[in-house]
Structure 1
């Protein structure tokens, strides 16, 4: 008997021997980055009083979502700066004609940004970093908890963090469903059910 679910509790494995969490599949994570990026762009377009074309967009993190987002922002004509830790990610961003900066040295990037997108699921911005943002610059939080900054510090710094969790299901539910279906079918084929 197979049990398939999304973001399943590990304790379920004690009851069911054949448990599969389709959200752990790499192909689902990669495909989910597309509606996440598009949803983030929609939020930015709603929040900004300028076009993304010509805007200075800071993308914090260059994993699956960061890459999908940065490429789409670049295609829209934004001046993209990727902030990441890995030298390979910084090199890749540069090779794609984007600016890049080590995540430990992003105050200058933040100070010049028109819009900031966070994809890093950990606290990387302190109050001093937040204060370097110009007033009104949206900080769109795409990462899982705990997020990039402490909410109280952000409030003290006058920064409005826009939480944007679960964008695939919110901005493109049919596509999100198709992505999940594809992952489930792959599991069923691997298990000899289909």
Structure 2
């Protein structure tokens, strides 16, 4: 339970709705910013007054999975305005106040550091990322089916990256009957792909490989699907880029070549926001209970 805890939820998508519900189930005091289009759906919540005394009570601040933009702005699908985080505001929170974000860019990291508040990037945690890979894979399958006129079974699939999402993708597409090749950068990665019974491709030498695939799935948040890769893809190939914005694909060149390329970060929030919200909420609850436990020691 989070009885007596004060938590601010700022911006975000449908995942935040489930987080808000969970916080209420655990008896926390919840303050909202960036949810003005919900039309009073959460009457028990309080609108967050950034200049009021509420700020001095906050035990936690929950930001969207996407975190902030490069100017410290927080967006959400339930409002038309961007909320700008300010260091002066963060400094008014209690010293123990934790900041939760899915990912944390340099701007957010610097703000938390200057305000001397603990920043917890949830997607850096193995438990969150692995649980999150389940709706990510389901969403990828949905997108693959929607945007092609052939089956996954029997298709040639190239997956770039063997991280927590890449591994789940590789296993699932293999089980669906696809011919899976996984791009990796280390000898350990090659060994893991071999152990999985799949084909490995050295991403450091992609220019020597045949890129004759039906699906190219990228999980690497770096420019890896560049013009040299795209020019070798067949015309019917579909690129699904699952990396965080701006992705790792040269979308301009793929459009020039007439190859469909779609940036689809945040799939869990699109295909299964309830499940994805529960995953994040459970982790946050455990973290906040840890604060309470340490305070009692």
With the length of structure 2 as denominator, give the TM-score of the two structures. Answer: 0.60
The separation in 1 between residues aligned to 2:282 and 2:258, in whole angstroms, is: 43
- Cα gap change, 1:118 to 1:18, in 2 (>3 Å): closer
Residue 34 (structure 1) aligned with residue 134 (structure 2): yes
* Segment of structure 1 superposing worse, 170-179 or 123-132: 123-132
Residue 160 (structure 1) aligned with residue 217 (structure 2): no
TM-superposed CA distance for 1:155, in Å, is 2.2
Partner of 1:119: 219
The separation in 1 between residues aligned to 2:276 and 2:127, in whole angstroms, is: 13
Paired residue for 1:3, among 60, 74, 80? 60
Structure 1 unpaired stretches of 5+: none
- Counting only pairs closer than 5 Å after superposition, residues 90-109 of structure 1 correspond to structure 2 as 90-107=190-207, 108-109=209-210
Partner of 1:186: 286
Rg bigger for which structure? 2
The separation in 2 between residues aligned to 1:21 and 1:103, in whole angstroms, is: 27
Summarize deviations over 1:33-62 as a string: whole Å, max 9, x none: 111111111111112212111111110111
With the length of structure 1 as denominator, give the TM-score of the two structures. Answer: 0.89
TM-superposed CA distance for 1:115, in Å, is 0.7
In the TM superposition, structure 1's runs of 4+ consecutive aligned residues that sit over 4 Å from their partners are none
RMSD of aligned residue pairs (Cα, Å): 2.1
Return the structure number with greater helix share. Answer: 1
The separation in 2 between residues aligned to 1:120 and 1:172, in whole angstroms, is: 22
* Segment of structure 1 superposing worse, 184-193 or 64-73: 184-193
Partner of 1:147: 247
State the number of aligned residues. 193
Structure 2 unpaired stretches of 5+: 1-57, 63-100
Partner of 1:48: 148
TM-superposed CA distance for 1:16, in Å, is 6.2
Larger RCO, structures 1/2 (Cα 8 Å, 6+ apart): 1
The separation in 2 between residues aligned to 1:44 and 1:179, in whole angstroms, is: 25
The separation in 2 between residues aligned to 1:49 and 1:77, in whole angstroms, is: 16
